[in-house]
């Protein structure tokens, strides 16, 4: 097994810190797409977070899932929501991903969004989006897992934005054979 940090370099860390770093590093080997998940609360305040924990679950019924840290600013809004929207980001949307990976309160300012199912904010020009009603939520340690039932969806043909090893990435065009 390859360790990112050798034992000699971690003397200032506790054993559990070392395990956490190794765990994160191992988790980061898994390449994912990047999404922004949005919702709106009863007062009309809009929320959105960058998330790569998204995955498809079921075709019939159509279900998807993602998870959010309990420490995130928007956790209560997602726990109480009727609906949320998952936007699969295109390769051109790295700046948007960075904006929604921050905890600022005005992430939506200046963006072209419209209200979808239950008033949930929808972005244009994503690779795909899924409008979901909240089907269930589950305890997931320091995260909450949200299961959504897809009510509407749309997709284009944009190349996806990727995330791997803590960095954004893009699909490399495969070389054409002569
Ligand atoms: C590529 C990427 C993927 C992320 N995926 C998740 C995720 O799946 N779950 C999560 O809780 N945070 C994730 N984050 C971190 C959140 O986007 C970040 O904590 C954000 O500030 C949460 O917004 P909030 O504090 O306004 O709720 C991710 C960040 C990046 C850059």
Q: Which CATH number fits domain 33-166: 3.40.640.10, 1.25.40.80, 4.10.520.10, 2.30.110.10?
A: 2.30.110.10
Asked whether 74 lines ligand 1 (CB < 6 A), one says: yes
User: What confidence tens digit (pLDDT) does each residue in 2-54 have?
Assistant: 444 444 444 555 656 678 888 999 999 999 999 999 999 999 999 999 999 99
68 lines ligand 1 (CB under 6 A): yes
**What is the CA(67)–ligand 1 centre distance, in A?**
9
CB 152 within 8 Å of CB 81:
no
Residue nearest to atom 10 of ligand 1 (CA): 68
- Greater model confidence, 75 or 24: 75
pLDDT tens track for 138-168: 999 999 999 999 999 999 999 999 999 999 9
- Residue 61: asked if its preceding bond is cis (omega within 30°), the reply is yes
Are 50 and 93 in contact by the 8 Å Cβ rule? The answer is no
The span from the CA of 40 to the CA of 129, in Å, is: 16
Check pocket membership of 50 for ligand 1, CB cut-off 6 A. Answer: yes
């Amino acid at each position: 097994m390859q360790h990112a940090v050798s034992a000699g370099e971690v003397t200032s860390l506790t054993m559990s810190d070392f395990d956490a770093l190794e765990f994160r590093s191992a988790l980061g080997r898994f390449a994912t797409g990047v999404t922004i998940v949005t919702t709106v609360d009863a007062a009309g305040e809009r929320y959105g977070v960058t998330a790569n924990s998204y995955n498809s679950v079921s075709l019939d019924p159509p279900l998807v899932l993602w998870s959010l840290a309990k420490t995130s600013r928007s956790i209560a809004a997602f726990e109480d929501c009727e609906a949320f929207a998952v936007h699969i980001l295109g390769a051109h949307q790295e700046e948007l991903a960075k904006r929604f990976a921050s905890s600022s309160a005005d992430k939506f300012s200046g963006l072209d969004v419209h209200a979808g199912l239950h008033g949930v904010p929808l972005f244009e020009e994503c690779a795909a989006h899924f409008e979901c009603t909240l089907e269930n939520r589950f305890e997931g340690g320091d995260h909450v897992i949200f299961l959504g039932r897809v009510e509407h969806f749309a997709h284009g043909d944009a190349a996806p934005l990727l995330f791997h090893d803590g960095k954004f990435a893009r699909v490399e065009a495969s070389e054409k054979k002569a």
